[in-house]
Structure 1
Amino acid sequence: MTALLLGPPCRYACALLLPALSLTVGAAPAGAQEARTVHLDLPAGPVSTALRAIALQAGASFGTDDPALLRRRARRLRFDGGIDKAIETALAGTGLVARRVAPGSWRVAAAPPRSRPRPFKPPPPQVAPNIVVTGSKMDVSLAHYPASVAVIDGSDIAHVTGEHGTLAIAELHPTLLSTRLGPGRNKLFLRGISDSSFSGASPSLVGQYLGDQRLAYASPDPDLRLYDIERVEVLEGPQGSLYGAGSLGGVLRIVPNAPDPRQVSGEAWAGASATAHGAGSMDAGLVANLPLGERAAVRVLGYHEKMGGYIDDVGRGKKDINGTQVTGGRITAHTAVGARWSLDLTAIGQNVRNADAQYEERTLGRLVRASAFAQPSHHFYRALAVSVAGPLAGGRLQSSWGLVDQRLSQVFDATQPDEEPIAYRQRDHISLLSSETRLTRSFGKRWDALIGFAALRSIAIQARSTGAPLQPVSLGTLDSRVREATVFGEARWHPDDRLTVSAGGRVSFIEMRGAATGVLAKPAPGTTPAPPLRRQRLSTPSLALAWTPVPRATLYLRYAGGYRPGGLTVSGAIERFTPDTARTAEIGFRMQAWESTGLQIEGALARTDWRNVQADTVDGLGLPHTANVGDGIVRTATFQFRLSPARGVTVAAGGFVADSKLVGWVPYLEQTVRSPLPNVARHGAVLSLGYEVRIASGSNFRANLRAHSLGRSILGFGPELAIEQGDYAYFSGNLSLDIGRTTLSLEAFNLFDTRGNIFALGTPFTLGTTMQGTPLRPRTVRLSLLRRSF
């Protein structure tokens, strides 16, 4: 399945038994399901009751074409054993069989008659297995999920050319956009919800999670490398009722491959790249899965990347200055606790070192700028997560805790024309402690419910200095602290097998504190600083409907909201800014039109009203500052399809059209300004053509060509920041050959060496005196070798 396979797996999912039957336990690895012991002690009753019990205990997912089959009677069941035998026992004597269609997923159908042989028929085309949107927190099947969502397979991410971090998702999903300051410094946007080009004290617009672990709150995209990933779910926003602050645009939920207690396995890879007009690159990594007995395992990932630069600095006489090194890894341990509970521990670490900024001065030529000194940046990321899951009170409890520590240092060139070199330095230390506990339960055949509690504590300390590059003078420090306690819930009603109605909401109690030292603490004459403590109560609703009028087709309506708390900022004194809220109305569909060709289609229309937009901007001196900049409206139309016109051939495409407007007051102009929202492209699209063929036993050949285009956008709000960016298109492709356990790949990014301005900011201090731009990485060719199960 590709990133653009957004249609439903309708053959299996458009008549799911019950939401409880489509339950996929996030803490359970697909391979570990068979290792779990299933306990059944049930009276005679419908088959659906027995399968629901298996699903809840083993994290399995069942689907069927004919819901009437599930009303057949099963005998009294008393059983203890593995999941395969449990399914066989539950269906014994019912005339039904269950066929595995994917790891952890089965399709229930009537057993073929034995009285007479059937004539041979070619196998039907392969269709997608039952897909469960675990980011819904109620494990809803894709066919019944009432919102725009993309489920991107980890193998598709692994084959993205030129990117291995978050931007690899943007290469596959057109509505995910990002600034391009460099790895560890970027800001993400989804569905046209964008406030500014600068990262500051405001909560992120896109929530990022590794499983249930929140990866960031009010900080840049950590840009973790997406190696050894099972899938990524991109949930379009707002997602406030389930995820709270930091999800106005949506949520990226990364699901890593889980430890497998059944076998020792692993893989190792190495690659080398050559970039036109730049230096070479290399990357290498290792994954190992190690069982620890029959019910526990540990999975280890390690990687290193050295990416060559391609920007020349004529001011210092240096070439290829913007090289980057990334080193990181992840360790996950899984163990069963008792018969039906599980415990998972995850540790994450990543270091990013950018030797210099990656912008050019467009008046000097392509890939060139003139600087008096280097502008490096370093990003250090550490995280620890603990998760437990198991049955409780007739439902399933999932509880997780996470600790994140980020350290980011940046240098910007603040030199003005005909003046001595001036550097601005900023160092941020951000710590985040978060937890969430939720209980999901089914009440009969028609109701499912979720109730949860979440809490977080964020501490951000920022030190600023400016002056001569080697002798900066401290401007002082900022200390921002946030504490939040939240109650949330959702209920789903299924009046029949074709209709699902859901409603939910969230209430958050937030306390914020701010303090400043040094020059930053001095208020302007005649001003009164705001109190350093602020308390708020914020809430947001959600209401949705999903209807399956005919098999393999789903229509949905959704109304959802999101918020970010109004915080404290410093600009000569502590100041307040108000919360911003977003409300989105969405109508969409997904369907599989013709099974014979595998045609799958999805589309959606959405309108978002965004009030009191809070933006991380810069003040008149170029220093970071947060303020409410006005009210916004965003209208988007999205469309995706996938088609298999011939055996082994896949065509997929996705695109969007966006229209945005921000109306706000600009103090220094003393007038109201109307403009598009920053970084919201007018349109964008991804088109891919894939081919796969088996050339011999154990040998496969794959080829893929992808085109990516993005329309124009502007850098920021206001006349001085209305700098155009975007408006480019480029092609990438890859070839790979599997020979047994070895894969040889040849990849090419930006095949035609397109010159495009993907982002118009390098340093905010000289925007008025230089024409800045961030160029597309020039044509890059990578050759890699991967070896599995060593």
Structure 2
Amino acid sequence: MIEAMVWRPLICLIAITAATPGEAQRQAINLPAGPLTNAIDEISKSARLSILITDPALLRRRVPAVRGRMTAAAAVRTLARHARANATQIGSANWRLTPLAQAPATLPSVAPPPPPPPPPPPPGDVIVEASKRGTPYGSFVGSVEVITQPQVGLDAGTSTLVTRTTIISSTHRGAGREKLFLRGIADSSFSGRLQSVTGLYFGDVRLTYSASDPNLQLYDMRSVEVLSGPQGMLYGSGALAGIIRLNSNMPQRNLPAASAGVGISVVARGAAGADADAMVNVPMTGNLSIRGVGYARSEGGFIDKPTITPGGRRDTNRTGIAGGRLIARWWAGNGWTVDAIGMAQAISHRDNQYASDDGPSFTDRGTIGEPSSGSYAAGQLVVNGRLGDLSFVSATGLSAQTFRERFQFGIGDVLADGRRRSDTITHEMRLAGDGRVNWVVGAAFTGTRDRSSYAQTSGPGSRSVLTVGGRVQDAALFAEGLVRVTPFLSIGGGARVVRAVSDAEHSVFSAATDRLPQRRQYWLLPSASLLLDPARGLSAYLRYQQGRRPEVEPALSPDIPDRSRHEKVDVVDGGVRWIGQGWQAGASVQHARWRRLRTDVFEGFFGLATFDLGDWATTSANVTLGGRITPRLRLDLAATLNRSRSLTPWLRDIGVRLPDVSDASVRAAIAWTRPIGASLVGRLNGWVRYEGVSSAMFGVFTAGRQGDYVQSGLTLVLDRTHDGLTLAVDNVLDTTGVLYKLGSLGRAMTVTTPLRPRMARIGYNRRF
């Protein structure tokens, strides 16, 4: 009964019919890998076609991704070829797909070994969705990296993206407390009221404003896009360093599916851990499907606290993570879709992950427990459709993020308890057109309210409280275009007009709340670009962009802001790309001038403040090379160099550097695939990454050197059609090193975050 309800509609039309077919015109095609039904839905929506399929089994056949610029007819024929089907055109915008006839078997046959899963598409076929115009990778003006199908296992959060590339850097205070930076643009080791310099997005919706990275787990993600900044023209003030966009797998139409996985792990000289995850895709009707993801992780600790009474505590830094995501997609007809998205996640740390500088390795001499916890919840509503030849997007998001922590303050059993809550609402509407002029116009709004409180307890009946909060709202109009003026030359430009309003409040020792005057700001963010593509697979670009972020009134500040000079980042970025013969290479250089850098400062308990670090110049160079040495062996290499220099003499004289950005990062990775017998495919992935020297900043003081270590990882996967077994090892060489020099807010100069010892995990997953 249920199967009949699901499959009968497939005997009719699959997809959506629109008034104006787009077959004859070349357009950006971005069809996902997976079951044919997913690709059919996408091509029907984007090219306004109707495709008739009468064989349900054909819809289940898996096809690789189809991406690039081509006509709709070429895309349909390509899908048919991959699905071993005939494609017959039966009208101006109507097609029929039927399975190829099977040749009669004349001899007993032996089942051939299964082919390996389709490899990730080469960069030349990837569409950069974060461009907001569906730009192919080779035509994107700017530095971009696309991580397809990010692996999860030993680690699964967004903070682990640092090990997948050389252009991302991070603090290391623990899951849910990190700040992410790109290409040497970094402001502070702590999260305060200033807007984050790196924007984190789930699809078209921003996840946070000024709060830390919530460390969403990357289960069931299709890809991650990393765009170097500033991206102020397209993304506004929270993209001084760039943006990181998470692209989830979306609900599949008319195709039930599910998967589940479990794993156990152990840390050398530490405790064991476990994880579990599940995904389900449920077609509710012919036009409505739901996709849900749930997960839970317990990560074993490796830090001992022998001085806690009674008896001390071993492996105290255990971390628990649990969460999920639910997406409902409605195919409304005529090429329109409506996505309702909800997500929630909770993180708990039994204790911190710091080790004392003057003690044995992986030992903290703190005398009290320092637990912390955080939660993140968000809802989104995204509408996509076509208005004639134009694409329309409306994206609205609401989010709430909270974090609680307890830390030992200074010497003795003095406790400090911190709590922070940040609520954000975002909305954006935009139109985009494709052709000789590739353009986008839109309007955006962001509103956020945050409130932080810190309470210090030094004895019975002794308690001091500091509360800081404020609101920021900004509204913007933006437009950008790229015009092809010759067959090999395109020129682009754009601007974003912003109005920002902010206020602040604070109270000390539970006294009356002091509210600072509201502040209004206006600015214009220009952009200009140049794209050369003189030969197939070869392109070069040059761009200029400007970035700003709203000024916020500091609650308690050690300096007097100079309001005659506003914080601003000007960046010139140039690069070349080559794609061909199964290989791709790229090189880029970015130079930034950062005027009046504002940084968040936590100075003891009595001052949550911002500080003016003056003017800075940064330069970042990046090179990448990747390709197939043999049909089954792939090699990827990348390196990034960063340099920063203060233009303020007294800061330069005392050796102040931008925090948490290493002077060099180098990464090498291999991926090897081979069939094993008649039913197995083996895959071996290995990587090694060198992280150079960087500094942690505490106010205007340098806490010390961190970095200068080598990380490594190795993963073996044995995969069958419906299940797979995974063995993974992190820190294969069992390297020691200092990830983060600051550590606890209350003991910033005496503890550090060490590199996690060797860790191994074995996992099993099943696909239904």
* TM-score calculated relative to the size of structure 1: 0.82
**Change in 2 beyond 3 A, CA 1:717/1:141:** same
**Change in 2 beyond 3 A, CA 1:189/1:180:** same
Q: Percent of aligned pairs with the same residue?
A: 27
Q: Helix, strand or coil for the counterpart of 1:224?
A: coil
* Distance in 2 between residues matched to 1:37 and 1:177, nearest whole Å: 37
Question: 1:443-489 deviations in whole A, cap 9, x for unaligned?
Answer: xx421321100011101011221123786624232221111111111
Indicate conservation of the 8 Å contact 1:530/1:576, yes or no.
Answer: no
Q: Which residue of 1 aligns with 2:759?
A: 780
Indicate conservation of the 8 Å contact 2:68/2:126, yes or no.
Answer: no
1:499-538 to structure 2, matched below 5 A, reads 499-519=489-509, 531-538=516-523
Q: Which residue of 1 aligns with 2:541?
A: 556
* Distance in 2 between residues matched to 1:510 and 1:208, nearest whole Å: 20
Aligned-residue offset at 1:441: 2.0
Indicate conservation of the 8 Å contact 2:30/2:68, yes or no.
Answer: no
1:274 pairs with one of 227, 244, 266? 266
Q: Which residue of 1 aligns with 2:729?
A: 748
Q: Which residue of 1 aligns with 2:579?
A: 592
Q: Which residue of 1 aligns with 2:637?
A: 653
Q: Which amino acid aligns with 1:619?
A: E
1:107-506 to structure 2, matched below 5 A, reads 128=122, 130-154=125-149, 157-158=150-151, 162-316=154-308, 317-392=312-387, 394-416=389-411, 420-442=412-434, 445-468=435-458, 473-506=463-496
Question: 1:196-238 deviations in whole A, cap 9, x for unaligned?
Answer: 1111111111101111121001100010000000000011111
1:545-584 to structure 2, matched below 5 A, reads 545-571=530-556, 579-584=566-571
Indicate conservation of the 8 Å contact 2:559/2:612, yes or no.
Answer: no
* Distance in 1 between residues matched to 2:131 and 2:496, nearest whole Å: 14
* Distance in 1 between residues matched to 2:466 and 2:697, nearest whole Å: 27
Aligned-residue offset at 1:150: 0.7
More off after superposition, 476-485 vs 716-725: 716-725
**Change in 2 beyond 3 A, CA 1:332/1:470:** farther
Q: Which residue of 2 aligns with 1:109?
A: none
Q: Helix, strand or coil for the counterpart of 1:171?
A: helix
Aligned-residue offset at 1:494: 1.4
* Distance in 2 between residues matched to 1:287 and 1:71, nearest whole Å: 33
Indicate conservation of the 8 Å contact 1:24/1:61, yes or no.
Answer: yes
Q: Which residue of 1 aligns with 2:20?
A: none
1:546-695 to structure 2, matched below 5 A, reads 546-571=531-556, 579-593=566-580, 595=581, 598-619=582-603, 623-664=607-648, 673-695=654-676
* Distance in 2 between residues matched to 1:513 and 1:279, nearest whole Å: 46
Aligned-residue offset at 1:653: 1.2
More off after superposition, 655-664 vs 266-275: 655-664
Q: Helix, strand or coil for the counterpart of 1:761?
A: coil
Q: Which amino acid aligns with 2:662?
A: A
Aligned: 1:728 with 2:734: no
* Distance in 2 between residues matched to 1:232 and 1:71, nearest whole Å: 29
* Distance in 1 between residues matched to 2:148 and 2:37, nearest whole Å: 17
Aligned-residue offset at 1:63: 4.3
Question: 1:418-453 deviations in whole A, cap 9, x for unaligned?
Answer: xx41122211111001100001124xx421321100
Instruction: Give the total of aligned pairs.
Output: 698
**Change in 2 beyond 3 A, CA 1:62/1:361:** closer
Q: Which amino acid aligns with 2:624?
A: Q
More off after superposition, 84-93 vs 267-276: 84-93
* Distance in 1 between residues matched to 2:292 and 2:367, nearest whole Å: 43
Aligned-residue offset at 1:415: 2.5
Indicate conservation of the 8 Å contact 2:352/2:371, yes or no.
Answer: yes
Q: Helix, strand or coil for the counterpart of 1:312?
A: coil
Q: Helix, strand or coil for the counterpart of 1:244?
A: helix
Q: Helix, strand or coil for the counterpart of 1:34?
A: helix
Q: Which amino acid aligns with 2:533?
A: T
Aligned-residue offset at 1:288: 0.3
* Distance in 2 between residues matched to 1:70 and 1:467, nearest whole Å: 67
Q: Which amino acid aligns with 1:203?
A: Q
Aligned-residue offset at 1:33: 4.5
**Change in 2 beyond 3 A, CA 1:54/1:624:** farther
Indicate conservation of the 8 Å contact 2:183/2:620, yes or no.
Answer: yes
Question: 1:701-727 deviations in whole A, cap 9, x for unaligned?
Answer: 011121011000111177742411001
Q: Helix, strand or coil for the counterpart of 1:458?
A: strand
Q: Which residue of 2 aligns with 1:104?
A: none
* TM-score calculated relative to the size of structure 2: 0.85
1:706 pairs with one of 664, 684, 687? 687
Q: Which amino acid aligns with 1:782?
A: R
- 5+ residue gaps, structure 2, are 1-22, 51-64, 75-84, 98-117
More off after superposition, 461-470 vs 266-275: 461-470
Q: Which residue of 1 aligns with 2:11?
A: none
Q: Which amino acid aligns with 1:584?
A: V
Q: Which amino acid aligns with 1:737?
A: L
Query: How large is the Cα RMSD of the aligned pairs?
Result: 3.4
Indicate conservation of the 8 Å contact 1:23/1:140, yes or no.
Answer: no
Q: Helix, strand or coil for the counterpart of 2:28?
A: coil
**Change in 2 beyond 3 A, CA 1:318/1:663:** farther
Q: Helix, strand or coil for the counterpart of 1:532?
A: strand
Q: Helix, strand or coil for the counterpart of 1:262?
A: coil
Aligned-residue offset at 1:662: 2.4
**Change in 2 beyond 3 A, CA 1:725/1:521:** farther
Aligned-residue offset at 1:623: 3.9
* Distance in 2 between residues matched to 1:92 and 1:321, nearest whole Å: 63
